[in-house]
Structure 1
Amino acid sequence: MTKPTRESAPRTAPVATTLKVVSDPPRKPRGKAGARTHAAPPKVGRRRYENLDRSIRAKNAEMTNGMSFFASQAAWTDWSKHLAMAPGRQQELAEHAADNLRKMWLGMMGLRGGFDARPGDSRFAHTGWDSPPFSFWKQSYLAVEDWWEAATTEVRGMRHKSSERVAFQSRQMLDAFSPSNYPLTNPEVIAKTLETGGKNLLAGARSFAEDVAQEVSGEKPPMPEGFEVGGNIACTPGEVVFRNDLMELIQYTPTTKTVQAEPILIVPAWIMKYYILDLSPHNSMIRFLVSQGFTVFTISWVNPDASYAEYGLDDYRRLGVMAALDAVSTIVPGRQVHACGYCLGGTMLAIAAATMARNGDDRLATVTLLAAQTDFTEAGEMMMFLDESQIAYLEDMMWDQGYLDQDQMAGAFRALRAEELIWSKNVRRYLLGEQEDVFDIKVWNADATRMPYRMHSEYLRGLFLENRLTGGRFAVEGRPVALSDIKAPFFVVGTEKDHIAPWKSVYKIRLFNDAEQTFVLTVGGHNSGVVSEPGHRGRSFRIGTREPDAFYQDPDTWLAGADSRDGSWWLAWADFLRAKGTGQAMSPPAMGAPDEGLKPLCAAPGSYVYQR
């Protein structure tokens, strides 16, 4: 539900961006050199045929949740052909199978030398798995799983991406056939059923019926009871002081008598809602910064529908980062700004900062990147999905819809950890009859957004597939930009268990920029590592600063020399921001700048955050 606002802004049309998504290939004349050729058919006519093909691919992509059958087939063909020509590897795998058979029988008889589940795999934690016949199913499954892991390692000569895809898809198939997924082969489910008289299965059946009904209706689930956006999450007081088609800019109410002279502008990712950085009062990064005496602004992105199909990456830079920075500079004039970008917002901030540096715009005091990549050559597990065939499938699906739906996007992330996020979750919910614990970060995670067709295509092609930014081929306003032009100090945060932006990939900013850089590696994952408030038990981090123009240090060497510190990295970041500012204290600025046309429009968290 969208809450009414006091004032709305007219929609501005997007401008053409520098990354072209779909282009017609040049037509080559037919026949021998010098021979007369037929005129090319009209472009409009050719596009009619192309649109027919794209429509068919789009429907196929909907059935496969955006996964390209051709990319999958090519990977298995590459693997099987190379394996067929490798008798040494075949012999090795035959011996591996024989050894696994021996280990399997040892495990079934309860002797040492059998298979144990991998660390972190909780599917076989119940003690019933150690007794027959469940021990037989467990050992058989783990033996097959181990063999396939060995079989799908790269064969000399095959494409690395093919090996990753075959390994991934074999894991998906094995996860589906795990004996833990079925009530008659799972001792924990049987014990629970006997204990409750079958009530667990009845509760699971109700949950299953509810989920199916919701899936068929297409309705988004309501906000869980006990959570309210603007109530107990996304609840830091403030005002929306600027709005356009793509974002609302929120200025937060000060809580200290004086503030640092330099304000902070936060650029969150538009893949999800901004309030991952403003969760509950006790773990809100925004509330923490305000309490530390900073004037804080954040962008709240629109949740685009099909009418935003032609909005591209450069629209997010212009109408997002730069429009917000202009507003902040109007409200707090004459001061540099600490800019902070999270995930994709950090990538966009880096592009904007490089463009500003090229154009002589020195308004940035510092640049903070939170779990944000600038180089995509080692961009983690998501890279296995991306090649020309796969992106074409996604593009055609988005072209047909106008956007990438949040469920389609979430499905890819869940597939990366299907064992935990799909199968084990289904067992707990449908077979054990358990209801999931609901907490703020899980509520936020379910409140997903859509991605405009053009923007997401440019992002996947220009950054993930072609790595243009660090390759010197990413053009803004017709000219390439370079990260090396940025002279502002960097504060860069990576998280140890990040499946989306692996920390070593985030660390690579050091290869492309020689300004002062402070790098932090914190425990946790892509979201939990960033939401790391002071007082959170079990939190620790490593930190180190590289002076300007210092020699490069590889991530493993850096890690070996960086001592671990207990506590939250937020405190170190606040100290960094103070040290890199002027250190001047001033009275808090007014909310907005009414005389400059930036009057408060509505209370935080604004209206865009309610769009579903």
Structure 2
Amino acid sequence: MTSAAASNAHDTLQSFMAASRSVLDQFGKTVASGTPMPGTGWPGNLAEPFVQMTALQQAYLEQVGRMWTDALHHTVDTWNAAVTPAPTDRRFKAPGWNDSYYHLIKQAYLSSAKYLHDFVETAQVDEKTRIRLRFYARQYTDAMSPSNFPATNPEVIARAIETRCESLTTGLNNLIEDVAKGRISMTDEAAFEVGVNLAVTPGAVVFENEIFQLIHYRPRTEEVEATPLLVVPPCINKFYVLDLGPDNSFVRYALDQGQAVFLMSWRNPGPDQDRLSWDDYIEEGVIRALDVVRAVAGARRTHALGFCVGGTLLGCTAAVLAGRGRDDLASLTLLTTMLDFADTGDIGIMVDEAYVSSREMLIGRGGLLAGKELAFIFSTLRANDLIWNYVVNNYLKGATPDAFDLLYWNADAVNLPGPMYCWYVRHAYLENAIREPGRTVQAGTPVDLSRISVPVYLLAAREDHIVPWRTAYGTTGLVGGPVRFVLAASGHIAGVINPASRNRRSHWLNAERPADPEAWLATAEETRGSWWPDWAAWIGNLSSGRVPAPRELGGAGFGPIEPAPGRYVRVNAD
């Protein structure tokens, strides 16, 4: 561009910006004075919101104006970025984004995204509506990123030139394959097989019904705890997140501590199980598993550990047992679990009366919630990482995803029975009824969480986007027994699956239990490394003694049916 052309463009842009500012100033003064604009009836008490909007618009236009002025008069080396990406934003890390054309596109996008974010934050709405607006604004801005389109992504163009467009052909083939699968490939799925390099801890299935298989794991110590441990994984995922491989298996770690470990492998329900209810999952699920574990181990009581929805089921089961006067449990461990659903984070904005009612009408009396639908919902909570990242790499760059066991597990979807799912979303997410004593009747028993009197170990994850840690902390005020609350670093899965041997991340401890979670965190002590050893010490202090490890798996009429991990975990969702 010649200097004369640049000068003319600059003058035109400056005139446009001045005119825009004049209009916005006049609009703001008119609204602030309480005088209705021509053709409107806006009252003066709405002045503040409109003034805020005017200020946002003016700031946005000024920012865009500065950006274009810099683009017309300066080289990229002297540009001052109007908006910088977040440190965790990997979309614009490549050097190509600093070239003049792409830098301008990036800045225009970031400025627009910031404007939309600020608009949501200053909107005069209640907090629930603001959370909903945040979510949808983020979905829109994530989808419209220039990194998602081949013509505006310098990495995609460079890769196409380098490969003589072979990357685009490969990407198209990847897209066709994923369309056939009905989901985005997040990992090299050929690199993993359940029972071969996932879920390989030795054991045997010793019981099964239409809801679950019960795995009894082979001990790894000469003696084991006399009180066995039942693990209740989430029923919306497969259990092997807790047994990914020898180096990151929580099951193996518990065995190494001398625990006698049993685990529920939930069935991936099909048409024959589409009428199962929440009560079935408690009565014929968790309670039945506890009965079998006590019989096999010859024990009066059982330690029990639940993860995510498995923890919610376990907490409700503990209250049902307490309501029946049964003393089956020695302790509870609840990992990233909600029993109080007052703040459910982003996922809660999808659950309203209209959604729940429609689900009840469609599948509430029978039917399945498809696992792929659930998986997509969870992916939207982190769309840049779990959707658009793979769209760009797989389809635009023609790359093959790396082999990652956790992402393979994440894509291994599980269906849910309609009646069970509908009860859960209504009474937990929509009405938050589980926390209120006697408001829900589960498995024929009024549920009162305060009747849970056994020791409870509560783990939350500080960056959890599915179970916000402050919400998980709320359980400390609901149960009646002594509680140890521990806050792990990272998110919903990485905060839990953090092997002690790797000495990664941190966790926070505080013996005090104030009502306010922020007050708890303010005086909590950060400890380097995994929370696993802390849990091992806690449950070790509840020991009822040790007995010689059994030579055979099963017992009391519950013999081995098949080797672990069993058939149920291998059934894929339709």
**Shorter-normalised TM-score: what interval?**
0.7 to 0.9
- Superposition deviation, residue 479 in structure 1: 4.0
**Structure-2 residue corresponding to 1:269:** 234
- Superposition deviation, residue 85 in structure 1: 7.9
**Structure-2 residue corresponding to 1:173:** 140
Higher alpha-carbon Rg = 2
The alpha-carbon distance between structure 1 residues 593 and 287, as it changes in their structure 2 partners (threshold 3 A), is closer
Q: Is the 8 A contact 2:370 2:414 kept in 1?
A: yes
Cα distance between partner residues in 1 of 2:563 and 2:179? 37
Cα distance between partner residues in 2 of 1:398 and 1:497? 33
Letter of the structure 2 residue corresponding to residue 204 of structure 1: G
1:103 to 41, 45, 63: 63
Letter of the structure 1 residue corresponding to residue 212 of structure 2: M
Within a 5 Å distance, the mapping from 1:567-582 to structure 2 comes to 567-582=529-544
**Structure-2 residue corresponding to 1:611:** 571
- SS of 2:216's partner is strand
**Structure-2 residue corresponding to 1:115:** 83
Letter of the structure 2 residue corresponding to residue 211 of structure 1: D
Cα distance between partner residues in 1 of 2:221 and 2:283? 32
Cα distance between partner residues in 2 of 1:219 and 1:103? 37
**Structure-1 residue corresponding to 2:73:** none
Cα distance between partner residues in 1 of 2:243 and 2:44? 54
Q: Is the 8 A contact 2:459 2:486 kept in 1?
A: yes
- Superposition deviation, residue 437 in structure 1: 1.0
Q: Is the 8 A contact 1:83 1:89 kept in 2?
A: no
Cα distance between partner residues in 1 of 2:518 and 2:185? 44
Letter of the structure 2 residue corresponding to residue 125 of structure 1: K
1:499 to 465, 488, 494: 465
- Superposition deviation, residue 512 in structure 1: 1.2
Bigger drift between 380-389 and 393-402 goes to 393-402
Letter of the structure 2 residue corresponding to residue 118 of structure 1: A
2:208 to 243, 250, 255: 243
Letter of the structure 1 residue corresponding to residue 468 of structure 2: P
Cα distance between partner residues in 1 of 2:190 and 2:453? 47
Bigger drift between 270-279 and 388-397 goes to 388-397
Q: Say if 2:112 is the partner of 1:150.
A: no
Q: Is the 8 A contact 1:248 1:301 kept in 2?
A: yes
Q: TM-score, normalised by structure 1?
A: 0.81
The alpha-carbon distance between structure 1 residues 590 and 320, as it changes in their structure 2 partners (threshold 3 A), is farther
Q: Say if 2:251 is the partner of 1:283.
A: no
- Superposition deviation, residue 246 in structure 1: 0.3
Q: Say if 2:364 is the partner of 1:373.
A: no
**Structure-2 residue corresponding to 1:141:** 109
Within a 5 Å distance, the mapping from 1:516-595 to structure 2 comes to 516-545=482-511, 552-582=514-544, 584-589=545-550, 591-594=552-555
The alpha-carbon distance between structure 1 residues 123 and 228, as it changes in their structure 2 partners (threshold 3 A), is same
Letter of the structure 2 residue corresponding to residue 406 of structure 1: G
The alpha-carbon distance between structure 1 residues 93 and 496, as it changes in their structure 2 partners (threshold 3 A), is same
> Which ranges of 4 or more aligned residues in structure 1 deviate by more than 6 Å?
81-85, 218-223
**Structure-1 residue corresponding to 2:322:** 357
The alpha-carbon distance between structure 1 residues 591 and 462, as it changes in their structure 2 partners (threshold 3 A), is farther
- Superposition deviation, residue 307 in structure 1: 2.3
2:561 to 576, 595, 601: 601
- SS of 2:507's partner is strand
**Structure-2 residue corresponding to 1:89:** 49
Unaligned runs of 5+ in 2: 1-40, 71-77
Letter of the structure 1 residue corresponding to residue 354 of structure 2: S
Within a 5 Å distance, the mapping from 1:292-311 to structure 2 comes to 292-311=257-276
Within a 5 Å distance, the mapping from 1:506-517 to structure 2 comes to 506-517=472-483
2:165 to 189, 198, 204: 198
- Using the aligned pairs only, state the percent identity: 36
- Superposition deviation, residue 87 in structure 1: 3.5
Cα deviation per residue 1:555-607 (whole Å; 9 max; x = unaligned)?
A: 1111121211112211111111110122x12112354555x321111111111
**Structure-1 residue corresponding to 2:278:** 313
Unaligned runs of 5+ in 1: 1-80
The number of residues matched between the two structures is 523
Letter of the structure 1 residue corresponding to residue 108 of structure 2: S
The alpha-carbon distance between structure 1 residues 221 and 188, as it changes in their structure 2 partners (threshold 3 A), is closer
Higher relative contact order (CA 8 A, sep 6+): 1
Cα distance between partner residues in 2 of 1:337 and 1:590? 20
The alpha-carbon distance between structure 1 residues 164 and 364, as it changes in their structure 2 partners (threshold 3 A), is same
- SS of 1:508's partner is helix
Cα distance between partner residues in 2 of 1:132 and 1:593? 68
Cα distance between partner residues in 2 of 1:475 and 1:104? 58
Letter of the structure 2 residue corresponding to residue 176 of structure 1: A
- Superposition deviation, residue 480 in structure 1: 2.0
Cα distance between partner residues in 2 of 1:312 and 1:372? 20
Bigger drift between 246-255 and 170-179 goes to 170-179
Cα distance between partner residues in 2 of 1:456 and 1:83? 46
Q: Is the 8 A contact 2:346 2:381 kept in 1?
A: yes
Q: Is the 8 A contact 2:135 2:346 kept in 1?
A: no
Bigger drift between 454-463 and 324-333 goes to 324-333
- SS of 1:231's partner is coil
Letter of the structure 1 residue corresponding to residue 506 of structure 2: S
**Structure-1 residue corresponding to 2:177:** 210
- SS of 1:283's partner is coil
Q: Is the 8 A contact 2:233 2:308 kept in 1?
A: yes
Letter of the structure 2 residue corresponding to residue 203 of structure 1: T
Letter of the structure 1 residue corresponding to residue 448 of structure 2: A
Cα deviation per residue 1:123-174 (whole Å; 9 max; x = unaligned)?
A: 2222222332222221211121111112223644x44333322332232222
Letter of the structure 2 residue corresponding to residue 552 of structure 1: P
Q: Say if 2:155 is the partner of 1:188.
A: yes
Letter of the structure 2 residue corresponding to residue 250 of structure 1: I
Cα deviation per residue 1:300-359 (whole Å; 9 max; x = unaligned)?
A: 000001222221111001111111110111112244211100100101111111111222
